[in-house]
């Protein structure tokens, strides 16, 4: 599908490429954003523009607030598995404990706050895929590591914590949300159709943890007003393991990706290691997930799996479904 960019878009792009300062780049990028037709074919360009605008905003903000802050990109984790999910919340909420239960990582866990100072990655198994979790330092009105701004941009989704062993749990989690909002990071259950490229939305699930605490049920009841329609909570105990199986699935689901198995002509499908690509991907977009060059060169595919498909040949624009088996033809 062609994006059909208007001529002024190319002029703005040329100005962006020539711009020397972050401010000039930002002006040109905003112009490109306004001129870009917003439809399915331009989705990838929209994402790239949003990221660049958000990065430049952050850079300008960090430069204007003094040189002492950590350089952006101090911690960057190359994405592994089906996607990257950050663990966010107030101190002592049980973030590191959950990481240690869902992955092989072994972060320090302690009954006092601020034990986690640096991001700690771990890989979570879910059925035949893996999801990268990143444990982060706590976020309070007074404690915020600048690298969290970068890591929340590169992540595909977030887990937000509510501590059911703490009477002030909802207030502490709200403070985390407020601090992130000040850094232009909005945690939301579903991404909105918002045209403002300066705000970065991150799909988020709420985990109410420490269910094993003796007053957890009462606190959950009292937190209902705060939870309201914000986020439907996943109630767990990392300590006893309650709810962790369901949580693995919810974390995978939050990535909004499909599992697709590939197959060579005349051979059985490779059912051991699926590829993942965004829900709604077409054959050609999936081909691009397998290899960049394939997105342009793929001509058709045979598809097995979803309802009416049992080896039928489909075109480049055919939309794939979860667990389809696909044989790409170039």
Ligand X SMILES: Nc1nc2c(ncn2[C@@H]2O[C@H](COP(=O)(O)OP(=O)(O)O)[C@@H](O)[C@H]2O)c(=O)[nH]1
Question: What is the smallest separation between the CB atom of 160 and Mg ion, expressed in angstroms?
Answer: 14
Q: Return d(Cα 305, Cα 321) in angstroms, integer.
A: 8
Concatenate the DSSP letters of all residues of 246-259 into one string: HHHHHHHHHT-EEE
Q: Are 163 and 90 in contact (CB under 8 A)?
A: yes
Question: What is the smallest separation between the CB atom of 95 and ligand X, expressed in angstroms?
Answer: 4
User: Does 96 participate in binding Mg ion (rule CB under 5 A)?
Assistant: yes
Task: Residue 81: name its binding partner from ligand X, Mg ion, none (Cβ under 5 to 8 Å by kind).
Answer: none
The four Cα atoms 111, 163, 99, 256 give a dihedral, to 10 degrees, of: -170
User: Does 199 participate in binding ligand X (rule CB under 6 A)?
Assistant: no
Per DSSP, helices labelled H in the chain are 7-18, 22-35, 43-64, 95-102, 147-154, 169-182, 216-227, 244-254, 283-290, 294-297
Q: Closer to ligand X at the Cβ: 23 or 118? A: 118
User: Does 149 participate in binding Mg ion (rule CB under 5 A)?
Assistant: no
Q: Return d(Cα 190, Cα 169) in angstroms, integer.
A: 23
Pick the binder of Mg ion from 116, 149, 152, 284 (CB under 5 A): 116
Pick the binder of ligand X from 19, 27, 109, 199 (CB under 6 A): 109
Q: Are 180 and 207 in contact (CB under 8 A)?
A: no
Which residues 208-227 are close enough to bind ligand X by CB under 6 A?
Answer: 209-210, 212-213
Pick the binder of ligand X from 158, 238, 320, 326 (CB under 6 A): 238
The tokens describing 214, both together, are: 């003796």
Query: Number of C-alpha atoms within 13 angstroms, CB side, residue 306?
Result: 15
Q: Closer to ligand X at the Cβ: 159 or 255? A: 159
Q: Closer to ligand X at the Cβ: 43 or 213? A: 213
Question: What is the smallest separation between the CB atom of 134 and ligand X, expressed in angstroms?
Answer: 12
Q: Which residues bind ligand X (CB under 6 A)?
A: 89, 91-97, 109-111, 115-116, 138, 165, 209-210, 212-213, 237-239
Q: Which residues bind Mg ion (CB under 5 A)?
A: 95-96, 115-116
């Amino acid at each position: 599908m062609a994006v059909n960019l208007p001529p002024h878009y190319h002029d703005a792009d040329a100005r962006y490429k020539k711009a020397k300062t972050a401010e000039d780049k930002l002006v040109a990028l905003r112009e490109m954003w306004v001129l870009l037709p917003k439809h399915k074919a331009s989705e990838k360009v929209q994402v790239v523009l949003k990221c660049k605008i958000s990065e430049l905003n952050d850079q300008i903000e960090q430069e204007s607030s003094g040189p002492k802050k950590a350089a952006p990109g101090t911690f960057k984790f190359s994405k592994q598995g089906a996607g990257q999910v950050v663990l966010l919340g107030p101190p002592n909420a049980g973030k590191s404990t959950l990481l240690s239960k869902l992955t092989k990582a072994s972060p320090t866990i302690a009954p006092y706050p601020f034990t986690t100072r640096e991001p700690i990655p771990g890989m979570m198994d879910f059925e035949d895929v893996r999801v990268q979790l990143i444990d982060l330092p706590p976020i309070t009105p007074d404690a915020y590591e600048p690298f969290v701004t970068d890591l929340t941009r590169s992540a595909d989704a977030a887990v937000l914590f509510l501590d059911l062993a703490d009477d002030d749990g909802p207030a502490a989690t709200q403070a985390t949300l407020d601090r992130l909002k000040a850094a232009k990071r909005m945690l939301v259950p579903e991404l909105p159709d918002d045209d403002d490229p300066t705000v970065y939305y991150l799909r988020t699930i709420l985990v109410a943890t420490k269910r094993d605490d003796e007053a957890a049920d009462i606190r959950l009841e009292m937190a209902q007003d705060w939870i309201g329609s914000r986020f439907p909570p996943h109630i767990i105990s990392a300590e006893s393991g309650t709810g962790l199986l369901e949580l693995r699935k919810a974390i995978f689901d939050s990535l909004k990706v499909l599992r697709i198995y590939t197959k060579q002509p005349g051979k059985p499908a490779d059912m051991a290691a699926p590829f993942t690509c965004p829900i709604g991907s077409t054959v050609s977009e999936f081909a691009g997930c397998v290899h960049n060059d394939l997105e342009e060169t793929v001509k058709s595919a045979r598809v097995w799996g979803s309802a009416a498909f049992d080896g039928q040949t489909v075109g480049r624009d055919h939309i794939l479904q979860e667990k389809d088996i696909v044989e790409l033809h170039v």
